[in-house]
Structure 1
Amino acid sequence: MANSKWSQILFIVIITLANLFQCNIATDPFVQQGQDNIGRALPGQNFNISFEHYSGYITVNEDVGRNLFYWFIQADHVDPTSKPLLLWFNGGPGCSSIAYGEAEEIGPFHINSDGKNLHFNPYSWNQVANILYIDSPVGVGFSYSTKNSSDDILNNGDKRTAEDNLIFLLKWFERFPQYKKTDFFISGESYAGHYVPQLSQVIVKYNSATKHDSINFKGFMVGNALTDDFHDQLGIFEFMWTNGMISDQTFKLLNLLCDFQSVEHPSQSCERILEIADKEMGNIDPYSIFTPPCHANDNQQIKRKNSVGRLRGVYDPCTEKHSTIYFNRPEVQRILHVDPDYKPAKWETCSTVVNTNWKDSPRTVLDIYRELIPTGLRIWIFSGNTDAVIPVTSTRYTINALKLPTVSPWRAWYDDGEVGGWTQEYAGLTFVNVRGAGHEVPLHRPKLALTLIKAFLAGTSMPTLEPLTAAS
């Protein structure tokens, strides 16, 4: 879809939503947030919590009964409404934000290797914000349609996802009106590099088109994000070569045979050289090239040491397997208010059907950045520097394409006296590189990720190294 056509359609959609929104609210079967309250104990939860959390459905299309499943976890604070509200997306397209964002990255409830019990995440982002996770689009996780379900799932794409997510938000704020005035931010990773700026654009247009029920939207942040096909793919090949993962000859052929125009629809000659590159890389996890991959018959947690023998903690490369076990348990689905009449035959972290039938995906969203940066939104991009899927080289090429003036030059940022990564601030955009993190930054570097989100929400620069004080 051409960028100009996309923008025109969005404007028409926003005006339509503004006119129809009030009548849609009345048809929502859940009008009291208490009906979605989960309580203080999930199956396998052997620790106490002091915050409330809720889950349920929001109907975003009455005609086909399209329902998006959400999990809302309040900030761990005496007054949650005094903390920002953060909406989190994972990517795919077709992957569950609950499977990844909540259960292994930024949420408080993480799943043990047995798939039955939970452990508390001490670096949960709900220490500093209320977190809202959506299984988006329909067909992902527990989200479903009641009519023509198969056809509806086959017609997902960027445009409809942005429209549905806006409707979701408008109706969710009606269910939780105490958060209407709360500062609202959006974040996500990977293919959410499309979801997040596209939804941001729709929100800005909605707020401009209507004077009632506007969303108190302040900004967005994306990580290891698919942004621009040309620069993303250019950076991938360079990253693989400079990290010694592919041969000189393969690197040359990748640049010769792959035109950098589409990561989703490469030519046959490009496909063949990509297969060669994959073989040369070997059995590694491309999402985190220096950590062990998940072995199918090995459920043991794998310890990862650094050069001086200290443990970052325990890294488990098989977290997806644990989620699959946990969220397929009937007692878990029951307490999460999963509709028993429309629960998936088998819950999966990602939907192959959604992914392989995706209808529209623009080659770039840089035009959206160019549109939104002048509005004054807080916009951050972060990148784990051990990811080979959408590596830091891709992100840097993409940001450079925006040709933004530098406000604060490249420097190291620190966490507890050690380099946490590097950062550069531009006019209207901040870039943060997270040292030693893969594609899912909060999974591999949870403490650094918490430092990152604190700075983003506060609107401050990443921490500098505090000067040493003289001994008394």
Structure 2
Amino acid sequence: MNLPLCTLFLFVSTSILCRNVKVNDGPLLLTPLIEKGKYEKARSLSKVDPNLFAGLQSHSAFITVNKTLGSHLFFWFFPVEDKPLESTPWIIWLQGGPGVSSLFGVFLEIGPLQFINGTALFHVSTNLYLIFLVGANLLNFIQQFLTVFPELRKAPLFIAGESYGGKFVPAFGHYIHINRNSSHPINFKGVAIGNGLIDPPTMLQYSKFGVQVGILDLEEAAKIKAIEDAAKNAYKEGDMDTYRQEWTHTLLSYSSYLLSSYNYVFDEEPSKEYVQFLNNIEIQRALHTGRTVFTAFNWMVFIALLNDFPLSVKPWLEELLDNDYGVLSYGSQLDIIVPYASLESCYHTLQWWGAEGYIKAPRWRYRGTGKRPEMYIKQYGNFMDVMIRGAGHMTSYDRPQAAKDLIKLYIDEFQDYQGDKNNNKG
């Protein structure tokens, strides 16, 4: 079945993780309406004026995820027009950072909008129909969201994300898997991780990579390798405090040699002009955010998760693989902070039913519409390993067409997937 890529865009951002928001301050909180069963009213109130956003129909509001802390997540939902939402695949995207807003993805990576000369325009360059979501208490959020938009319960759901989202994605997938509920079903099909920090202990290879691409000389690499080895030894010995310290020391030492954290060929960082646009009073009113200040990056979230940086989510990824969810993990050729070689080292340590078959599986080149290969793909069973040529850490920003082709390949492969474990095992 060759369905459209997905049904909508949904953006939930840790940068718009608000506490103690008051109704009279202006933000639209849907949870009180959801708790009273007023789903249609919540849906109606969340509608956004399309005239300010390239004519696109959308919904936005806040959903409460922690009453004790007074925490609310903001979403911006773009339903695709003239498509059956019940059967069209949809994706939840977890931006990285941690603390980077998923609105980065709206305007700079895969749309549906881009900001040019003070105006929001339809992002025609990628035309990717995806959903993006970031934050805490995601299972709580998505269950509330699905009461307002229940047609999505039957639609095939894929969770995707990049960078630090490589930890959020398996975690969210794990919680959906262990909380399967027939009375509140979620048609969860799999996960897609881009340049993800999945398993820091096995991915700690900056000294080797730095020499290979000319960022470090041998003397500089030796200094960093000594710190890496100290971190790895502490991890093996179970000394997590020392491991965290040495892992962080490695990353800081390596980063001091970088001109860019995203791409070792280009040092220009993406522009964030859209931040001023989103803090315009008229735009805030249209998005029902009141006078909540939008920032592209939230230091509070970043600092709160510092101790989590060196920790692994590999067991959760292995759980998803072993339970026959479709897993895509892609890396980019020019990524400097999560190199593809580090990802491949992680893949070879994964313990799941198809581990041996994956290692022996052949790799093939995908050319797309051009003459040169766009990416290298290796697949066995429900695991797809991809390297995208000519892209840095923000894959969709650098190579939008390749990213679009890849996500379509992945969804077409796994939206109706019933599992290969019994056929391929052994």
Q: TM-score, normalised by structure 1?
A: 0.72
* Residue identity opposite 1:92 in structure 2: G
Residues in 2 aligned to 1:327 and 1:198: alpha-carbon distance in whole angstroms = 30
Q: Percent identity?
A: 23
The 1:24–1:337 alpha-carbon spacing in structure 2 relative to 1, beyond 3 Å, is closer
* Residue identity opposite 1:409 in structure 2: P
1:349-372 deviations in whole A, cap 9, x for unaligned?
111122112276271111112212
Residues in 1 aligned to 2:37 and 2:115: alpha-carbon distance in whole angstroms = 32
The 1:76–1:241 alpha-carbon spacing in structure 2 relative to 1, beyond 3 Å, is farther
**Alignment match, 1:423:** 377
- Does the alignment pair 1:132 with 2:131? yes
Residues in 2 aligned to 1:26 and 1:77: alpha-carbon distance in whole angstroms = 30
Q: Is the 8 A contact 1:71 1:132 kept in 2?
A: no
* Structure 1: tracts of 5 or more residues without a match: 1-21, 138-160, 294-316, 462-472
- Does the alignment pair 1:38 with 2:37? no
* Structure 2: tracts of 5 or more residues without a match: 1-30, 236-241, 416-426
**Alignment match, 1:381:** 329
Which of 216, 232, 245 is the equivalent residue of 1:266?
245
- Does the alignment pair 1:170 with 2:143? yes
Q: Is the 8 A contact 1:434 1:448 kept in 2?
A: yes
- How far the C-alpha of 1:67 sits from its partner, in A, is 1.1
- How far the C-alpha of 1:442 sits from its partner, in A, is 0.5
- How far the C-alpha of 1:186 sits from its partner, in A, is 0.7
Which structure 2 residues correspond to residues 423-442 of structure 1 after superposition, within 5 A?
Answer: 423-442=377-396
**Alignment match, 2:195:** 224
Q: TM-score, normalised by structure 2?
A: 0.79
**Alignment match, 2:363:** 410
Residues in 2 aligned to 1:41 and 1:338: alpha-carbon distance in whole angstroms = 17
Q: Is the 8 A contact 2:146 2:153 kept in 1?
A: yes
Residues in 2 aligned to 1:222 and 1:275: alpha-carbon distance in whole angstroms = 24
1:357-413 deviations in whole A, cap 9, x for unaligned?
227627111111221212111110011111111111111111111151335411211
Residues in 2 aligned to 1:93 and 1:212: alpha-carbon distance in whole angstroms = 33
**Alignment match, 2:35:** 26
Q: Is the 8 A contact 2:231 2:246 kept in 1?
A: no
**Alignment match, 1:288:** 263
**Alignment match, 2:279:** 328
* Residue identity opposite 2:153 in structure 1: K
Aligned partner of residue 132 in structure 1, secondary structure? coil
Which of 389, 403, 412 is the equivalent residue of 1:449?
403
Which of 104, 108, 112 is the equivalent residue of 2:112?
108
- How far the C-alpha of 1:82 sits from its partner, in A, is 3.4
Residues in 1 aligned to 2:307 and 2:43: alpha-carbon distance in whole angstroms = 34
Residues in 2 aligned to 1:80 and 1:169: alpha-carbon distance in whole angstroms = 16
Which of 61, 72, 87 is the equivalent residue of 1:67?
72
**Alignment match, 2:315:** 367
Q: Is the 8 A contact 1:96 1:350 kept in 2?
A: yes
Aligned partner of residue 459 in structure 1, secondary structure? helix
Which of 185, 201, 204 is the equivalent residue of 1:214?
185
- Does the alignment pair 1:253 with 2:223? yes
The 1:124–1:75 alpha-carbon spacing in structure 2 relative to 1, beyond 3 Å, is farther
1:309-367 deviations in whole A, cap 9, x for unaligned?
xxxxxxxx4322x1222222222211111133xx13xx211111221122762711111
Residue correspondences, number: 368
Q: Is the 8 A contact 2:86 2:153 kept in 1?
A: no
1:200-259 deviations in whole A, cap 9, x for unaligned?
00001110xx3311211111101000111112222x332221001111111122111233
Residues in 2 aligned to 1:65 and 1:278: alpha-carbon distance in whole angstroms = 36
- How far the C-alpha of 1:41 sits from its partner, in A, is 2.2
Residues in 2 aligned to 1:426 and 1:380: alpha-carbon distance in whole angstroms = 11
- How far the C-alpha of 1:276 sits from its partner, in A, is 5.9
- Does the alignment pair 1:400 with 2:370? no
